[in-house]
Amino acid sequence: MLLTEMAPPPGAQEVAGLRARTRSARRGALVALSTSIALLATAQVLADRATTREQTLPLAVLSLGVFAAALPTLALTQYVWGARARLLRRRERELYAVARSGRARLLTRPAVAGGWAVTLLLGWTVPRFFREASLHTFADALTWGAEALSVISVGAGVSFLLWWALDAVGILARALRSGGSPGDPWDPGHGARPREGAALWTGTAVAVAGLVGARAHLWEPTTSVLYVLLAVALVLGVVTDE
């Protein structure tokens, strides 16, 4: 009997479903992160290039709105991703006695933390645009809020580094003791999913990096190029892993 004609072992279909849900949550979290950074960077580059306060004000409001929406969205999507990943690892341990090694987390977690850092840095510059739009009182209030958020962010960053270091030690120790989850033939796994997904994520990352570079004045693209990069970041982010 062919392997694909055999009945899956108990729990195999459940684990395959949990893996699919975890991949979906990961994709949603990364799309939210890349979209937030791309929109913030584009709005701020355009605000930098505005010549009058009437042109600056709507872009400042857009930057503030994107930043205010980004923080809870990133927190929620990444919480769902983490919760589903923990549920998957717990179920794998119950069925296979071991979970997947998790070595990819050693890179993905710092990368996501770096995305948070870029988002916060962009958000902390929002008050300056309101000041340039001559809304000084509102800009002062935003500055106070940004300073308070920066203190919280530094504390969260230090806590993350300690937690990541401890988790990295645990992952490496488990990798030395075991080869990781044996997997199962009923889970399509990486081989059955479109390999174009990696190329699309790479394109998204390059477009977002280009927008951030423009915001940091590392290069000076034309406005049309900015819009092209923004469109690439949004479109490729949406179609990844489809």
* Entry pTM: 0.86
Q: Is residue 2 part of a domain?
A: no
Residue 57 within any structural domain of the chain? yes
Helix (H) or strand (E) holding 22: helix 12-49
Residue 174 lies in domain: 9-187
Domain presence at residue 226:
no
Handedness of CA 157, 240, 232, 73 (dihedral sign): negative
Distance CA 215, CA 225 (A): 13
Mind listing the pLDDT tens digit for each residue in 120-171? 999 999 999 999 998 999 999 999 998 888 888 888 888 888 888 887 777 7
CA 197 to chain centre: 15
Asked if residue 194 is part of any domain, the answer here is no
Tell me whether residue 34 is in a domain.
Answer: yes
**Average pLDDT, rounded, for the chain:** 84
pLDDT for the residue 108: 85
* HSE toward the beta carbon, residue 56, CA cutoff 13 A: 16
pLDDT band at 1 (very low <50, low <70, confident <90, very high): very low
What count of other Cβ atoms lies within 10 Å of the Cβ of residue 199? 12
Q: Confirm whether 216 is domain-assigned.
A: no
User: Please, are residues 126 and 142 in contact by the beta-carbon 8 Å criterion?
Assistant: yes
DSSP notation for 82-104: HHHHHHHHHHHHHHHSS----TT
pLDDT of the residue at 167: 77
Give pLDDT, residue 178: 57
The total domain count for the chain is 1
Within 8 A by CB and 6+ apart from 202, the residues are none
Question: Is 61 part of any domain?
Answer: yes
Tell whether 82 is covered by a domain.
Answer: yes
